[in-house]
Amino acid sequence: MKTRLIFLILLSALCINSITAQKNNKKIIITGTVLNAAKEPIVNAIVMIDDQKTNSITDSKGNYKVKVKPDASKIGIFTFGHGTFEDSIKGRTQIDFNFGVSRTQQTTDQTIAPGEQGVSTGYGLVKKKNLTTDVNKIDGTNKKYASYSTMSDMIQREVSGVKISGSSVIIQDSKDLFGSVPALIVVDGLYMDELPDIPPVNVISIEVLKGTAAAIYGSRGYGGAIIIKTKIQNQ
């Protein structure tokens, strides 16, 4: 009888711990409204959590609803034509976005010292360590990349989450309602529809912008962006 009582007590304790753990891991629901500078609703804006796309988009009134993990730290709104807006979650369940309100944007960092790594985000050079978005940079002048015969191999093997099929580049399996969305290709400041066949020896740098990092290019950057700087422009 005593053994049975102890067993029941232990079983109850395990059940309580299990229920507590489930409550702690329960997803949080965040809601809000997204407005433009004229305080009008922005429709079909994409909600992103910690730089990852979700299935949540704003409705005809600019309202959104998204479930997030308790440890999620950042929410972002990706729009077509208005750019992106990010904010910290900090335990809030109601987060509104107004694209007419002044907000801090990444600007050219004038304090980059010689030899310190910077990344071109479209607003100018920014110290890589100061970036809050997901950017990978390949220094084409580094001798360790000399063994690559094609730029495609260099990008696929050095940057995670990138798949190249022919001349099409897909970053982090980016998709929309119609299928995969290829990344925007920018070579020496020129937009291209596909990855050019440039020998790695002629490449100065390759920057891969993932998630909201490519939102500076508007709807063109929905699938991310590959920014290539070559020696050709200086020849």
pLDDT in tens, 89-142: 988 999 999 876 644 433 334 344 444 444 444 434 444 443 444 578 888 888
Residues 93 and 122 in one domain: no
Q: Give 167-216 pLDDT, tens digit per residue.
A: 788 888 877 777 788 888 888 888 887 888 888 888 888 888 887 677 66
Residue 168 DSSP symbol: E
pLDDT at 104: 40
Is residue 206 one of the residues assigned to a domain?
yes
Report the number of distinct structural domains present in the chain: 2
Distance CA 75, CA 58 (A): 14
Over 90: is that where the pLDDT of 86 sits?
A: no
Residues 140 and 208 in one domain: yes
pLDDT at 79: 80
pLDDT at 176: 73
CA torsion sign for 113, 118, 123, 124 is positive
C-alpha distances in angstroms, 6 versus 12, 109, 165, 219? 10, 66, 62, 63
Residues 58 and 140 in one domain: no
Distance CA 114, CA 24 (A): 47
Beta-bridge mates of residue 66: 30
For 46, the token pair is 């994409």
Residues 70 and 134 in one domain: no
Residues 69 and 125 in one domain: no
Residues 125 and 41 in one domain: no
Residues 224 and 133 in one domain: yes
Distance CA 112, CA 155 (A): 25
Residues 142 and 62 in one domain: no
Q: Which CATH number do you get for residue 81?
A: 2.60.40.1120
pLDDT at 108: 37
Is residue 16 one of the residues assigned to a domain?
no
Residues 172 and 227 in one domain: yes
Residues 92 and 131 in one domain: no
pLDDT at 95: 92
Q: Give 14-59 pLDDT, tens digit per residue.
A: 555 555 445 556 889 999 999 887 788 988 888 989 878 888 999 9
- pTM value? 0.46
Q: Which CATH number do you get for residue 188?
A: 2.170.130.10
Is residue 22 one of the residues assigned to a domain?
no
Is residue 8 one of the residues assigned to a domain?
no
Residues 150 and 78 in one domain: no
Q: Domain span at residue 150? A: 118-234
Residues 161 and 192 in one domain: yes
7: amino acid identity, one letter: F
